[in-house]
Structure 1
């Protein structure tokens, strides 16, 4: 999980790995902690049962609330270790004593506050949309759990990974060991490599547990049109991609548009979703979520969505366990300043939702001003919307109901002032700073706000989170507006206008960052703290996305409360327009395009293949480098909306790539196929490709290709270093011949191939790209990779990351390090 740079230094630094939980960030921040306590414990009273709805059965309460390690004998220090089975075995008097104490508001606050002092566990998901999810779970259960169960560090036994009990199909895992220990301890080396390589290949997503909840409750099906309004950095988007593709490897009928207002982070989103989980049905856009355009599908029809996720910008104080910076700068003005933006986002989303459609609104904040107040205002303005009761979903997820009452408070110096609604009605408070929607509307019970989900850290050892699930019932209803909703109403009137203003994004703390104080809201655009599972070229972007508050501004105390709130709101309202959109357009190729027909003939691709959905990315519409595949619904969206209006950052799956060595062919060979199959597209091509360019081999053949190729790549790198020190060849012809010779020598020659049947298959094929199917016992289902056949050698067209994953999974060793 990403943190600010200051957080990184204040965390456990270097030295011997230890399993002891760190509380360093708490010891130096007593005053800020007290302000937080006063606001949530005394003013909002988040654990006051009278402010909540029906809490369910006594049994549910008891299981939820017994999480204080000091109250139950023979329990481990971790609260989440207490499950139903262990509770049943405890003495009845102990259970009753703990239950009575937990029912006391003060005692529950102690449990909650103590949980905030511990680090979050490491959590990750197995990608559900992949055919190999069962295989990966098998590896974890049968290989790594037995190994990790025997590990002890500093004479303390380490708990092995265990499944999150509430995540469907057992595809999410939790490891109580900290991320730092996993990285630094030699005992975790093999498991760490497994996580890293499988994550790079898109088979695993490292994601905080509570962040997994909103997509699950959205209930996405393969035929749904889905909008993720504030998508970056992309962990939830990745879940939505999985759900869209959950039925089969065929192209689904549904559509996913993942949107983010920050241009740089939209490109990070490309890697997190489309590069790791290629999807012809996914589009990534760069729009202000409060003014996402109403897109056309042609034939006078507009694009409305079956499912919309509004994981909105928020103050992020639910992430205190990993973001110590929040303690330095926490202020209730953060929630007040963001309330209007959050309400505009959900209002715009409701207008884009189909009748019968579902919307999930979520934050990683504990503040009812950002949670229940926003949902209440949206429900009152859109009577067609109603809150769904999802208590039967994820039954093993421990949760609390939404609040039915809350207060509006502002900080004055070192104390809080409670603001009443009457003062706002009498115009004693600036309506722009304090809209009526901040206060309860008196019909919270009728609205069913207790159906919202509040996730607290002490319930199941997670971060803090808020989720609500809404559904639209009617089509023709017009929203109801109060006198202080002009900004929202104005935005509703410009649905068809051009995009001019960016959404003021938060640092997306529920996934990977934190928001530090009112002053930071002005930095929300382009300053989201983030986490990406990739390395290398994205490290710089990740650093730019993290908030650097080491300049001292984060700790500066502003005594004038009005100025704090004015600065907060002004920084949101006066956002600067996003400058001209500079992305190249996507242009669909005609089915009779010569290059497409050459590919179809060369690879023996069936006529059923959707050639009309192939596109390129350049204004001329010429297949120069890469040919992409999209779904039919993506094509309708692209062809019926102007490029500048759509603001499309990325879409489609790479299918064919132009081979560089065929750039300057003689005239006699101009009609030969210059294209190779790209790994991303094999999953969607394999059912259309015949046997013309298909070869097979066993595990031994694949192992030889990976091992041989790696050895010669290393040798080639060494030769190239030596060659740089030599003078260039005077004879250009000799230089080209030498390059050709070395190109052949870096890969196995036909006679080097030990599998005789495989050798004969490749020997008789024309030079060029083909598909290799690996067969045999222990091979994952439908394992196919790209292969390039030269005049006398063969080349496995798999990048180093994929070769690592294959070798580790199939043979238990990294052949790329040989």
Structure 2
């Protein structure tokens, strides 16, 4: 407990695929590691910063300072600014140390298809992207692919922002309920295309199943957890966790590996879920023993026996559960997974009975069962463990107070605790006081053979749904692929079932009232509804909606005239595949603003998605490589290069290239706009003046290397610029420019002179503005979002705990 009360030390991970990986490692070892030693205040720690021994390649670093100390300690200001800047541009990722563990046990390979089922906010997704790019050469795309999914729209936006720093063409971001993630089976939706399609259905070699949890393992990072946590949080999420994990197993290839993880210490959310997976899947799934992997990571074996806490009582088996609580406390929560004879079970889990309403997540609410009404009152408590008092009111005339153990049960019945015969000791528990970290649970599962399809369909039914139509579809063997997103109703964790019933009653009452209205009133209402619909249509008039409302469709870019213009202007080699790899989110080629590049693996998934009727709700994908840019002076090519896509495209460009000395490159980043005569190297200024007007690439000339070899080197330091009539203008964000300036200054030992805060003169001698429209100095075109439509997406807002 004393360790839990201490602030959590910060941690970060270096992106080994970034261009300045070696420079950052050198700066940490030679500068910060020594200069910060005097700031260590923990008696148990001698070093201010140190690499985590268990993380491969010394890429992850442990700081003996909390996030609060980094913000408030003046002596740490320069180091804090370093962390913020490098994190913003994607060279490092600030992430809790134990949160980095689950992706390591996936054993990702460069050719794997990977699914992150509950990906937001995106730190683990970024880690997976690092892994697939780390083993490939710069400028070469791996054949692997990552699909990052999250149910919450706003958290998807955070996920997109986080992964955008990676600049990858091997990523798809989707917005689905994890337990209903579509399988996109060709045999089911488009059987006539099976013969000609390489990809028959969406399956994955590796799946990260980091499910929503109560988050009690994050108490050091989020001290408010001490005040808000209660036992009902874990119990209420157990069913959803099983559903998500089972859906993951269904999407896993035979021989594939899935990691199930939570940031909770509650066995109901951990070993109980893994045990239920093993019982449902039988010999098709194996819980792997990974004790020989990451040997320097201190971990403890999983539990094989535990009790379940329900309000004020400890329960040793499902026999100890009160009758009216059996729909809330499931048999799968216990070590044996066995239910009582009076429980109605389907596939190992208790069916939801809408007439037995229970406030699992809030630990308070009203229960209606037959003619009886049970009112549950909880006393205030920081940890939610104080005893509850139950008042049973019958016929609204008398009330009888009973203790928690009534209904023919007493607390003494919980003395006998079940013991699981499953190999749950192969699970891993990371405990805060073992290595000064947070808490985490990890289980590694491998699929040995195909599952019984009835098991997967049963899980995909959604046990909480009370919709008769949806239940009918599921009973006919239809999975989530056949249910449109608009028809899926997701109950938020923490929402009282009584509230759901009251809303349903109110809707029914409104329906009856509407039937009694006069015909004139009905016409008025209908007219207003039509006007509202017309208004919404006008707002989306310029947007092709595709299958998903509020989401721009994914369109393969096939405008041959535009592609020829781009290839000719930049001299792109034929060896760089463009056909079938360019996509956009606007079907009108005359108004396309951004063109994205996707890898071969992503292209195959997009082809499959189109054939099955766009089952995937894609919010973001690919790497922005070209962007429309207008200029007052005009340009032979209307599309400029994107700074995000430049590292991929650089080895294949043969035109519009300049090679600058270190001092001129530094000045260009520092002042952002320089007139041709003002360059230190006069020859460089003449070469810049001779270029065609429009976008160009300036490459740093290190020493006296052969210029052609520099351009062919994908690791060369380069920046996108705009060549005007009289000057050269940098087309990168101020943040990226400042970080790049500091990197080359560190590498070449250059000093960064201070400049005035005022903006440099943007006008040429004749008074004309040489910048492209939008002004690269004041407007960052790379930061403009693709579409505002995501803000209007109609989907359930389900929150989870990181």
* Comparing 367-376 and 634-643, the one that deviates more: 634-643
- State whether residues 108 and 131 of structure 2, in contact with CA within 8 Å, keep that contact through their aligned partners in structure 1: yes
Partner Cα distance (1:263, 1:150) in 2? 44
Secondary structure of the equivalent of 2:664? Answer: helix
- The one of 448, 453, 459 equivalent to 2:434 is 459
What is the rounded CA distance, in whole Å, between the counterparts of 1:699 and 1:157 in structure 2? Answer: 41
Q: Is the 8 A contact 2:272 2:333 kept in 1?
A: yes
Q: Distance in 1 between matches of 2:324 and 2:316?
A: 9
Question: Pick from 705, 716, 727: which aligns with 1:793?
Answer: 727
Tell me, yes or no, if structure 1 residue 402 matches structure 2 residue 375.
no
Partner of 1:88: none
* Structure 1 gap ranges (5+): 1-112, 506-519, 523-563, 710-746
Cα drift, residue 660 of structure 1: 2.4
In the TM superposition, what whole-angstrom CA distance separates every residue of 1:338-380 from its partner, at most 9, and x where no partner exists?
0000000001111111000110100011000000000000111
**Structure 1 residue 420 and structure 2 residue 317: aligned?**
yes
Match of 1:284 in 2: 173
1:501 is the counterpart of 2:469 = no
Q: Which residue of structure 2 lines up, in the alignment, with residue 811 of structure 1? A: 745
2-structure distance, mates of 1:604, 1:229: 41
Residue 479 of structure 2 aligns to a residue in which SS? coil
The answer to whether the Cα contact below 8 Å between 2:169 and 2:623 also exists between their aligned partners in 1 is yes
The answer to whether the 8 A contact 1:314-1:338 is kept is yes
Task: Give the C-alpha shift of residue 788 in structure 1.
Answer: 1.2
Asked if 1 retains the 8 angstrom alpha-carbon contact of 2:670 and 2:738, the reply is no
Give 1:290 shift: 0.7
Whether the aligned pair in 2 keeps the contact of 1:296 and 1:637 (CA below 8 Å) is no
Aligned-pair CA distance for 1:755: 1.5
SS in 1 for 2:168: coil
Unaligned 5+ segments in structure 2 are 187-192, 338-417, 464-470, 508-546, 705-709, 757-802
User: Are 1:289 and 1:503, in contact at CA under 8 Å, matched by a contact in 2?
Assistant: no
**Counterparts in 2 of 1:483 and 1:634: CA distance versus 1, 3 Å:** closer
Instruction: Give 1:243's match in structure 2, choosing from 122, 128, 131.
Output: 131
Q: State how far apart, in whole Å, the 2-side matches of 1:375 and 1:776 are.
A: 55
Q: Any idea what the Cα deviations from partners look like across 1:603-634, whole Å, max 9, x if unmatched?
A: 00011222121111113354521111011222
1:202–1:481 distance in 2 versus 1, CA, 3 Å: closer
Identify the match of residue 231 of structure 2 among 332, 335, 356. Answer: 332
SS at match of 1:405: coil
Note if 1:762 corresponds to 2:688: yes
> Residue 617 of structure 1 corresponds to which residue in structure 2?
585
Question: Which residue of the other structure, out of 270, 273, 287, is the alignment partner of 1:387?
Answer: 287
- Give the drift of 1:772: 1.4
1:434 aligns with 2:360: no
For the 8 Å contact 2:45–2:64, the answer to whether it is kept is: no
Tell me whether 1:354 sits opposite 2:329 in the alignment. Answer: no
SS in 2 for 1:766: coil
The residue that corresponds to 2:677 in the other structure is 751
> CA–CA distance in 2 between the matches of 1:172 and 1:481?
38
Q: Does 1:376 align with 2:275?
A: yes
Q: What is the CA–CA distance in structure 2 between the aligned matches of 1:155 and 1:479, rounded to whole Å?
A: 57
1:153 to 1:599, Cα distance in 2 relative to 1, 3 A: same
Q: How much is the aligned-residue C-alpha RMSD, in angstroms?
A: 3.3
Give 1:281 deviation, angstroms: 1.1
Q: Is the 2:147–2:172 contact (alpha carbons within 8 Å) kept by the matching residues of 1? A: yes
The structure-2 alpha-carbon separation of the partners of 1:157 and 1:166, relative to structure 1 and needing over 3 Å to count, comes to closer
Q: 1:445 to 1:482 in 2, by over 3 A?
A: farther
Work out the number of aligned pairs and report it.
596
**Cα 1:481–1:235, aligned 2, differ >3 Å: closer, same or farther?**
closer
Counterpart in 2 of 1:521?
494
Is this contact kept in 2: 1:388–1:470, CA < 8 A? yes
State the TM-score, normalized to the length of structure 1.
0.68
Structure 1 residue 446: deviation in Å? 5.0
Q: Does 1:582 align with 2:582?
A: no
Partner of 1:654: 624
Q: What is the CA–CA distance in structure 2 between the aligned matches of 1:146 and 1:486, rounded to whole Å?
A: 57
Deviation, structure 1 residue 330: 2.5
Q: Which residue of the other structure, out of 635, 643, 646, is the alignment partner of 2:603?
A: 635
Q: For 1:254, which of 144, 147, 155 is the aligned residue? A: 144
The answer (yes or no) to whether the contact 1:432–1:484 under 8 Å persists in 2 is: no
Pair 181,137 (structure 1): closer, same or farther in 2 beyond 3 Å: same
Structure 1 CA distance, aligned partners of 2:237 and 2:172? 27
Corresponding residue of 1:679: 643
CA distance in 2, matches of 1:493, 1:696: 60
1:647 CA displacement: 0.9
For residues 143-193 of structure 1, what are the alpha-carbon distances to aligned partners after superposition, in whole Å with 9 as ceiling and x for unaligned? 211221244789999842111111110001111112222222221122111
Q: Which residue of the partner structure matches residue 780 of structure 2? A: none
Preserved contact between residue 305 and residue 420 of structure 2 (Cα < 8 Å): no
Cα 1:485/1:587, change in 2 over 3 Å: closer
Contact persistence 2:656–2:692 (CA under 8 A): no
How far apart in 1 are the matches of 2:719 and 2:656? 12
Alpha-carbon spacing, 1:209–1:628, altered in 2? closer, same or farther (3 Å): same
Q: Where does 1:206-217 land on structure 2 (aligned, <5 Å)?
A: 206-217=94-105
- For residue 693 of structure 1, report the CA deviation from its aligned partner: 1.7
Q: Structure 1 residues 568, 322: closer, same or farther in 2, change over 3 A? A: farther
CA distance in structure 2 between the partners assigned to 1:707 and 1:486 by the alignment: 58
Residue 182 of structure 1: aligned partner: 70
* Partner SS for 1:807: helix
Matches within 5 A, 1:95-106: none
Matched, 1:702 2:665: yes
TM-score, scaled to structure 2: 0.69
Cα offset, 1:309, TM superposition: 0.7
- Following superposition, the deviation at residue 771 of structure 1 comes to 1.4
In 1, Cα distance between equivalents of 2:6 and 2:48: 18
SS at match of 1:496: helix
The answer to whether the Cα contact below 8 Å between 2:250 and 2:451 also exists between their aligned partners in 1 is no
Distance 1:136 1:229 in 2: 32
